[in-house]
Structure 1
Amino acid sequence: MDLLTASAADLLAATDAQWEAALGVALTERLTLLRRLSGRWHPDHCIDSQAAAVFARIQRQRRRVSGGSRMLAPDRRATEARPVFESTATADGRRWTMPYLATYASELGAVYIGQRSLLEVVPLNMADLAERSVAQTSRWTFASAGMEEQIRPCLPAPATVHRTADAVLVVRPRDPALVRLADVMAHVGTVPPEHVAWIGSGLWNLACYLEYAQRAHPAIDASTVWIDTVRHRVALLGGWAYAGRIDERWAALPGNTLADVTPAWRGDPVQRSALGHIRIRRLLRALLGDATGMGPITARAPAAWVTFARSPAAGSAIDQYRSWKKVVETTFGPPRFATWDLSTSTIYPEN
């Protein structure tokens, strides 16, 4: 059976075995063929009365090919057939467009992941927060060239801004090796401890830099953190509209951070590094399989790591980084590189 020329009736009647035989052997070729089929049968532009049913069958087959257990992060929206974002008109009548691989919702609107771009779409009534995000990431200071070489790839690139009739578009370059941690967690379920180790170290390393730079970031979570699974790099690309100089008053906080704000902090609503440290420990608990801090943990999660993640965020970022490194080395010994066979195209098979 030729899938590209088959009728809707033939595609719906074909068994899974017939689909498997028609798709071929190589994974890359199979995904490419399924993408082409998705584009042809997408119900938004295919007029065939059975388009929706065929499209659903294609997506079921794609899930079989890419892994039946694959899940989307709760905030992520499914995308198919090489979608393209198109804005409303700008002041000069032009429209801003960008092909994207995946999209997810945020409290400030929506984020689109392009092959080499990251696009935030913020409604006009929150334009001040879009501008704050741009301002917070426009300039970084480093103590040395070595610090800059290590930390700069872990921070957002400067943004360009486009204002349309109904939104502010914040556009940044994106390293295609980086994937959003929320999408990784949704795909793999529980992250193996050997990879929680370097992700945790990367998070505390970023916390140390933020304290050096006198910056606070209260929105550190799986949706704002991105990772490079090949080079073991951790980047903090999102949530910068909520960040600020330490002791500066909050401009805003995301809803999921409010649970970590103590009554005393509500009475003195200023940026503090401790809130970011609490968020890191909460994220570590989630990575270890215990998002609440009280629930059961997986057998593979080292008990000392769980105790660390459940403990109060006390001390400086450097103190907590050292404590984390100590519990990791207690389990695994001296640092060593753990290969993770998890590519960007696995997380975003729409590519």
Structure 2
Amino acid sequence: MDATAPAAASADEILAIPKEWPERLFTAAGAVEAEWRTLAKRWHPDRNPDDPQAGLVFRHLGDLHREAGRRIDGGVWRTPGSARFEALDGRVFSMRYRRHRSFAIGDLYAGRTNTVFAVERDHADLFENARRTLTALRYADGAMEAEFSRYVPRIVDTFETADRLVMAVASTEDLLLLDDLVAHFGGALEPRAAAWIVSALSNLACWLGWSGLAHGAIAPDTVMVSPRHHSVVLAGGWFHSVPFGAALLPSPEFAVRHGRPAVGPDKRATPRLDLELVRAVGRAALGDPNGTRLLTDPAVPRPMAEWLVLPPADDAFQDYRSWERAREASFGARRFVAMDVDVDAVIRQREEM
């Protein structure tokens, strides 16, 4: 669709625009009302009695118009590839992003140096929980901090807009969301690639266990990976983290579905919760999040498949040791196998879909 001429857009082009993306239809915040009137007149069912799509298009335009108004009022109007946030304290935060994703409580914008989470105000308690958790992370000494701080996001800024709570965390240009990487490879990674992701997450789970903290939302859309360095960052999901023994907070669907075996009737966080989720992420990386086919998949080494589908140990350190045995039995001694991935190309492909 020609973004400079929304009135010329076809029915299919308009209906293909997600309701949360009015910026893909209207050319600018200041042009919304005029363009809305033109479009509403063009697609009103009374003016198009013979067009079976007119009613659908008109209703969809109404949704896009309402979302546009909400975004303008909230100071978060975007243009594709850029986002601008007007803070209540008068500051303006602008960024060029490579990837935008909506998630259960807001929107994620991933740039080259920052990742931004814009959370709906209805979830202020979860936002504050993430801010409080990330600013209170602890390490036994400098060596532990050097090892594990690279796995977790560092807050750069937090602020409020009229309808969003915004958190910016540091990022690097070699990172992309795990589920984008999996999608790029047709829905399943090669087992060696999935193995280094499981290794990194299992190592991180040891530190979480030492900290007495359940992240509670380890998932393909909260984990970012660096194919170049074979490293991970648990970038998202900290909104749901709680200490062991605390009541669980509302959780994303992936965590609810795959973490259920580790949660008792009292709905409190246990050390096994993240261990179950690491396994689920490993299975998802292999294209089988429920683990129904792994044991019969000839491409997946049997020790790896068994580890991913069997219950975890009660202790993260014991669980990591069992993974190391399964990994070595599956692939032998550790060796770095380069992963030939153009991160920018993958992100562009996913963003355009």
- TM bracket (short chain): 0.7 to 0.9
1:162-183: CA deviation from partner (whole Å, max 9, x where unpaired): 1111111111111222111011
Give the match's secondary structure for 1:207: helix
Distance 1:274 1:107, change over 3 A: same
Give the match's secondary structure for 1:267: coil
For 2:319 and 2:209, the matched residues in 1 are separated by: 12
Task: Please give the residue correspondences for 1:189-228 in structure 2 after superposition, counting only pairs within 5 Å.
Answer: 189=186, 190-228=188-226
Determine which of 102, 120, 123 is the counterpart of 1:123.
Answer: 120
Where is the helix percentage greater, Structure 1 or Structure 2? 2
Q: How far has the Cα of 1:197 moved from its partner?
A: 1.7
Q: Is the 8 A contact 1:288 1:306 kept in 2?
A: no
Structure 1 position 321 matched with structure 2 position 320: yes
Q: How far has the Cα of 1:152 moved from its partner?
A: 1.1
For 1:158 and 1:192, the matched residues in 2 are separated by: 33
For 1:92 and 1:207, the matched residues in 2 are separated by: 38
Q: Is the 8 A contact 1:138 1:159 kept in 2?
A: no
Code of the residue aligned with 2:330 in structure 1: it is T
Q: Is the 8 A contact 1:288 1:298 kept in 2?
A: no
Extract unaligned runs of 5+ from structure 1: 1-41, 55-79
For 2:212 and 2:308, the matched residues in 1 are separated by: 24
Report % sequence identity.
27
1:72-99: CA deviation from partner (whole Å, max 9, x where unpaired): xxxxxxxx99621123x43245543222
Give the match's secondary structure for 1:130: helix
Q: Is the 8 A contact 1:112 1:120 kept in 2?
A: yes
Distance 1:171 1:179, change over 3 A: same
Distance 1:156 1:334, change over 3 A: same
Corresponding residue number in structure 2 for 1:338: 337
Q: How far has the Cα of 1:289 moved from its partner?
A: 2.7
For 1:94 and 1:324, the matched residues in 2 are separated by: 47
For 2:130 and 2:260, the matched residues in 1 are separated by: 25
TM-score between both structures, scaled by the size of structure 1: 0.74
Q: How far has the Cα of 1:158 moved from its partner?
A: 2.0
TM-score between both structures, scaled by the size of structure 2: 0.73
Code of the residue aligned with 1:335 in structure 2: it is R
Q: Is the 8 A contact 1:123 1:168 kept in 2?
A: yes
Determine which of 176, 180, 199 is the counterpart of 1:179.
Answer: 176
Structure 1 position 307 matched with structure 2 position 306: yes
For 2:313 and 2:255, the matched residues in 1 are separated by: 18
Distance 1:118 1:185, change over 3 A: same
Give the match's secondary structure for 1:334: coil
Code of the residue aligned with 1:222 in structure 2: it is P
Q: Is the 8 A contact 1:218 1:276 kept in 2?
A: yes
For 2:260 and 2:189, the matched residues in 1 are separated by: 30
Distance 1:52 1:147, change over 3 A: farther
Q: How far has the Cα of 1:299 moved from its partner?
A: 2.9
Give the match's secondary structure for 2:135: coil
Q: Using the TM superposition, name which of 261-270 and 245-254 deviates more.
A: 261-270
Q: Using the TM superposition, name which of 285-294 and 193-202 deviates more.
A: 285-294
For 1:210 and 1:284, the matched residues in 2 are separated by: 18
1:279-334: CA deviation from partner (whole Å, max 9, x where unpaired): 11111112223222213654311122111111012231111111111111112211
Corresponding residue number in structure 1 for 2:254: 256
Q: How far has the Cα of 1:51 moved from its partner?
A: 10
Determine which of 155, 164, 167 is the counterpart of 1:167.
Answer: 164
Corresponding residue number in structure 1 for 2:47: none
